[in-house]
Amino acid sequence: MSKKPSLSHELTEQLRVREGFDLASFDRGARPGLKGGSSAAEDLLVEQGGILDELQEKLYAHGRSGGTRSVLLVLQGLDTAGKGGIVRHVVGLVDPQGVSIRSFGVPTEEERAHDFLWRIRRALPQPGRIGVFDRSHYEDVLVARVDELVPPDVWESRYDLINDFEAELVAAGTVVVKVALMVSYEEQGERLAERLERPDKHWKYNPGDIDTRLRWDDYQEAYQAVFDRTSTPHAPWHVIPADDKRYARLAVSQLLVEALESLDLDWPQADFDVAAEKERLEATRR
Ligand code: AMP
Ligand code: MG
């Protein structure tokens, strides 16, 4: 048996939420599907870069020639879970021209005047693009539920609305990749401590992060409900153990590779006569 670091072909399967998924017993320090340790994950991510880059360029070319497909990567996770690192280290592996990244914070007054999906719809990727949501419509059944920002009957009704919305997206040609990065309570404590310790990380710290941490159990319950109620065949959730950042990045890169491969795109056919154009170019020779 080879000792070479590698990623299992079943990785996506292993991370996908299925019936009976139990967040409370989920091991956040595991590296499912990875043969090798954390540094192997880092090396493998470099290899993934080339693969992702070519697949993304094909998607972009497809969009430029009238194609309608797109990919939407939805990133969820509590503070310090590593959402920003995914954007930087995984999404950063492809041409920024083909990517649209949106972060969702506390809704503005204008956004609050509309239904919760309004700002989401406006941020959807154009055909040919990879859209990335750093937080998403799921905040409207997470923080909104835990902090009681709306009455229970309102957030209750949102799970079905979200499923219908995502079904609509998928029917229109978007592959929806939903990723929840799950850190342990201990690891989150360490990451917050580091943010407080290092002046170059203070900008990432928010005193409200401690209030959120105090509601840890309520958030776990709210996340469990998200997985139970919105992991659908057309848009399943993938829960990523995120105590090892390098593993989490590799895992998300593989989910993106598979999403792009599922589009099964070829390079678009030239809409001109290649031979004739070669002759015309030849004729310009001086
Ligand atoms: P960060 O991602 O660290 O910049 O933080 C963004 C903050 O905005 C988090 O505390 C989220 O819980 C909050 N947030 C995002 N979406 C919503 C929403 N729909 N309603 C209320 N708060 C939200
Ligand atoms: Mg934050």
The domain spans of the chain are: 10-283
Fill in the amino acid letter for 200.
D
Average pLDDT over residues 150-163: 98
Of all protein residues, the one whose alpha carbon is nearest to atom 6 of ligand 1 is 105
pLDDT digits (tens, 9 = 90+) for 95-152: 999 999 999 999 999 999 999 999 999 999 999 999 999 999 999 999 999 999 999 9
Locate all alpha helices (DSSP H) within the chain, ordered by sequence: 11-15, 38-64, 83-89, 109-112, 118-121, 143-146, 152-171, 185-197, 208-214, 216-230, 245-262, 274-282
Average pLDDT over residues 73-83: 98
Structure tokens at 190: 């360490």
For the chain, what is the mean pLDDT? Answer: 97
Q: How far is the CA of 106 from the centre of ligand 1 (A)?
A: 5
The CATH topology of domain 10-283 is Rossmann fold (3.40.50)
Percent of the chain with pLDDT over 70: 99
Q: How far is the CA of 210 from the centre of ligand 2 (A)?
A: 10
**How confident is the model at residue 2, as a pLDDT?**
55
Neighbours of 33 (CB within 10 A): 19
Q: How many Cα atoms occupy the beta-carbon half-sphere of 57 within 13 Å?
A: 10
Of all protein residues, the one whose alpha carbon is nearest to atom 20 of ligand 1 is 106
Of all protein residues, the one whose alpha carbon is nearest to atom 8 of ligand 1 is 105
Give Cβ neighbours of residue 104 (< 8 Å, ≥ 6 apart): 119, 120, 123, 133, 134, 135, 136, 137, 139
Closest CA to 178 of 86, 56, 69: 86
* Whether the predicted pLDDT of 246 surpasses 70: yes
Tell which atom from ligand 1 comes closest to the C-alpha of 103: 2
**How confident is the model at residue 4, as a pLDDT?**
86
Percent of the chain with pLDDT over 90: 97
